[in-house]
Chain A
Amino acid sequence: MSTDEPHHSAPDRPEHVAAPIGSEEAAEALRNGPIGALVVAGIAVALLFIGWMAFYFLLFLPRGPIG
């Protein structure tokens, strides 16, 4: 076993771990939380929701009863 600090959940050998930015840089990037991700994912999911509602009430139900 290597004498390095265990690479918790990262791969077992340092050369297989990607650490392209250091801890301070990562903390800096996340200073305000992942607000951009919330915006992008939020808009995407909102579109999905609205689209589903639109399909359900404007396309599916008007096609007639089925039972």
Chain B
Amino acid sequence: MQNSRNLALWHYWVAFGTFLPAVLLGAWQMLMRSPLPAPLDDPDAYYASVTLHGTAMAYVVTTFFAMGFGYAIAATSLGRPVRGVAAAWIGFFICLIGTVMAVATVFAGKASVLYTFYPPLLASPWYYLGAFLLIGGSMIWVVLMVVNMTAWKHDNPGRPVPLAMFAITATALLWAWAASGVLIELAGILLPRAFGWSDLIDAALGRTLFSVTLHAIVYFWLMPAYIAFYTLVAEAAGGRLYSDTMGRLTFIMFLVFSLPVGMHHLLADPEHGSGFKFLQSFLTFLVALPTLLTVFSISATLEIAGRHRGGRGLLGWIGALPWNEPMVLAVGLSLVMLGLGGFGGLINMSYAMNLMIHNTSWVTAHFHLIFGGTTVIMYFAIAYEMWPRITGKPLRSKRLASWQLWLWFWGMLITTIPWHIAGLMGQPRRIAIFDYSIPLVARTAPLVIISVIGGLVLLVAATLLIIILVRSHLGERVLAQPLRYALAVNPPRQVPAALNGFALWNAILLVTMVVTYGYPIGQFFFLKSHSVPAIEVTSQESAPTGVR
């Protein structure tokens, strides 16, 4: 871990340093939309906060975390120094500059367009430029993951790429494909208009390009968690990975199926026809498959450990697992949240059933549970594994770490379960102030208040995370054990080229993307004029014209 030690660490510091303030904003937002009094009771502040919270969580925390994790994996799994460290640092600084640019602009109230941009709403060009630098800059990381894996393969002909490296390279490639949508939207539509080089905005085209990113990005977020499932849990639990092949197939399936499905975010939109919507819904069922397979494989992996520790009978192995290990506890809690959050996802993708919940709080609750819950709790667990390995300073208290994970788990359930129900009742998204005199809204009031309490629990848990990491960092340096990746039940001596590289899968993905998105995007260049003027989101008179 020599030359890239600081590299990974600095990426994690930016990720988690951004995380805590973003959680604070989220907790304030929950309070603001509730019937309870909130400080700074201002809708303009709310929308700026939602933009900041979303930008931080969706782009900053996740990208920096993935990059740091990638460098750490490259350094430890390949048994040799990471190549391209200088380029990696350049990428880090480009991403950091972009982050600061975007955050500052939102903070100044000049970019309240939310992290989904919502054209033809228009923000300050510095926001879009910041986002472009952050997302574009991370492409350096993508290239470095591919370079490192390719160089290793070249020097080790015929040998299987270590699973962790294979998986993080799949993640990087997925990110490159996913980011293409938003990068094209930024470079082609939003930046030109924001700088005044074009007049009109094709909102439908912008939404469609963004949809390429919008679903695939959640798998970019999720894959590091799955890498932990497949390569880190086995050691923490004291077992072996059930199937190395299934691990490879899972990451390949994510790469191929996460992208041609973005239209399920546009199912209620009028600018696409039923045929393509149905096609992409069908493909979305396929992207559920790797998760369903992972649930079984990881349960089997845990079962090996549990039985070895003395668990008997059908389910005794569960109790026998070392639940005091943060990684094991995190996996258990993550899988519970995966079940609940994944269920929500199955509802969302089911074509017409999507209309039951589209743009209601159900959607917001869903992605907080599946991302903020399932994925982020694994980020915590990975941090608890990584920090001691990189710094040489062990976790001060595993008990405190366990407390932190439990708090985050309960906080997430308390926040999101009532939120799901409110969505089913028809509560719309992204509302700064609810008029609780409206009967529909009044019925959701108790649910909203419960979510506020959940948000406070999450805030405590997030603070505890930072305290644990900082305290450990300030501790004594003792020689820590190196990071250890799972050994499979059947460590393969050779794997087929298709499971050891990505050329075939990239080719398949290219064809699939052309088939599923070629016409939906291309049509906009042939349809009659439908572009509109941009509308700047400035601090306007928010007095509603439709008050009854």
Residues on B with beta carbons closer than 8 Å to the beta carbon of A20: 234-235, 238-239, 305
* A-B contacts besides A8-B160, A36-B306, A66-B355, 18 pairs, CB < 8 Å: A8-B493, A9-B492, A9-B495, A10-B485, A11-B76, A12-B79, A16-B482, A16-B483, A16-B484, A17-B487, A18-B486, A29-B308, A36-B315, A36-B318, A41-B299, A44-B295, A45-B295, A60-B352
Q: Are A17 and B315 in contact (CB under 8 A)?
A: no
Residues on B with beta carbons closer than 8 Å to the beta carbon of A41: 295-296, 299
Nearest 7 interchain pairs by C-beta: A12-B79, A18-B235, A37-B299, A34-B300, A18-B484, A29-B307, A37-B300
Nearest residue (CB) in B for A26 is B240
Q: Are B314 and A35 in contact (CB under 8 A)?
A: yes
| Contact residues, A1-49 vs B (CB, 8 A) | 1-2, 6-13, 15-21, 25-26, 28-30, 34-41, 44-45, 47-48
Q: Are B314 and A55 in contact (CB under 8 A)?
A: no
Q: Are A39 and B314 in contact (CB under 8 A)?
A: yes
Query: Which secondary structure characterizes the binding site on chain A?
Result: helix
Question: Per a CB cutoff under 8 Å, which of B311, B485, B492, B495 touches A11?
Answer: B485
Q: How large is the interface on A (under 10, 10 to 19, 20 to 34, 35 or more residues)?
A: 35 or more
**Provided the pairs A29-B303, A48-B343 are in contact, do residues A18 and B485 lie with their beta carbons within 8 angstroms?**
yes
Bound together, the chains give a CA A59 to CA B253 distance in angstroms of 32
**Provided the pairs A17-B485, A36-B318 are in contact, do residues A52 and B304 lie with their beta carbons within 8 angstroms?**
no
Residues on A with beta carbons closer than 8 Å to the beta carbon of B493: 6, 8
Question: Per a CB cutoff under 8 Å, which of B162, B235, B242, B315 touches A9?
Answer: B162
Q: How far is the CB of A28 from chain B (nearest CB, A)?
A: 8
Bound together, the chains give a CA A34 to CA B306 distance in angstroms of 11
Q: List 11 A-B contacts (CB under 8 A).
A: A7-B487, A10-B486, A11-B77, A11-B78, A12-B78, A16-B483, A18-B235, A19-B487, A29-B308, A48-B346, A60-B352
Q: How far is the CB of B326 from chain A (nearest CB, A)?
A: 16
Q: Are B339 and A47 in contact (CB under 8 A)?
A: yes
**Provided the pairs A9-B160, A21-B240 are in contact, do residues A34 and B303 lie with their beta carbons within 8 angstroms?**
yes
Q: Are B76 and A40 in contact (CB under 8 A)?
A: no
Residues on A with beta carbons closer than 8 Å to the beta carbon of B535: none
**Provided the pairs A9-B495, A11-B79, A60-B353 are in contact, do residues A30 and B162 lie with their beta carbons within 8 angstroms?**
no
Bound together, the chains give a CA A36 to CA B343 distance in angstroms of 22
Bound together, the chains give a CA A44 to CA B339 distance in angstroms of 7
Q: How many A-B residue pairs have CB under 8 A?
A: 150
Residues on A with beta carbons closer than 8 Å to the beta carbon of B339: 44, 47-48
Residues on B with beta carbons closer than 8 Å to the beta carbon of A13: 79, 482
Q: How far is the CB of B467 from chain A (nearest CB, A)?
A: 29
Q: Mark B271-306, 1 if CB is under 8 A from A, else 0.
A: 000000000000000000000100110011011111
Residues on A with beta carbons closer than 8 Å to the beta carbon of B350: 52, 56
Bound together, the chains give a CA A63 to CA B315 distance in angstroms of 40
Nearest residue (CB) in A for B493 is A8
Residues on A with beta carbons closer than 8 Å to the beta carbon of B299: 34, 36-37, 40-41
Nearest residue (CB) in B for A2 is B79
Q: Are A10 and B491 in contact (CB under 8 A)?
A: yes
Nearest residue (CB) in B for A29 is B307
Q: How far is the CB of A59 from chain B (nearest CB, A)?
A: 7
Q: How far is the CB of B265 from chain A (nearest CB, A)?
A: 18
Q: Are B164 and A11 in contact (CB under 8 A)?
A: yes
Residues on A with beta carbons closer than 8 Å to the beta carbon of B486: 10, 18
Bound together, the chains give a CA A6 to CA B307 distance in angstroms of 28
Bound together, the chains give a CA A53 to CA B295 distance in angstroms of 21
Q: Are B235 and A52 in contact (CB under 8 A)?
A: no
**Provided the pairs A9-B244, A12-B77, A39-B314 are in contact, do residues A18 and B487 lie with their beta carbons within 8 angstroms?**
yes
Q: Mark B300-329, 1 if CB is under 8 A from A, else 0.
A: 101111111001001101100000000000
| B443 beta carbon closer than 8 Å to chain A | no
Residues on B with beta carbons closer than 8 Å to the beta carbon of A17: 484-485, 487
Q: How far is the CB of B315 from chain A (nearest CB, A)?
A: 6
| B161 beta carbon closer than 8 Å to chain A | yes
Q: Are B304 and A29 in contact (CB under 8 A)?
A: yes
Residues on B with beta carbons closer than 8 Å to the beta carbon of A11: 76-79, 162, 164, 485
Residues on A with beta carbons closer than 8 Å to the beta carbon of B482: 13, 15-16
| B163 beta carbon closer than 8 Å to chain A | yes
Q: Are A10 and B488 in contact (CB under 8 A)?
A: yes
Q: Are B162 and A59 in contact (CB under 8 A)?
A: no
Bound together, the chains give a CA A52 to CA B482 distance in angstroms of 44
Bound together, the chains give a CA A17 to CA B241 distance in angstroms of 12
| Contact residues, B53-88 vs A (CB, 8 A) | 76-80
Residues on B with beta carbons closer than 8 Å to the beta carbon of A55: 347, 353, 356
Residues on A with beta carbons closer than 8 Å to the beta carbon of B159: 6, 8
Nearest residue (CB) in A for B293 is A41
Q: How far is the CB of B30 from chain A (nearest CB, A)?
A: 25
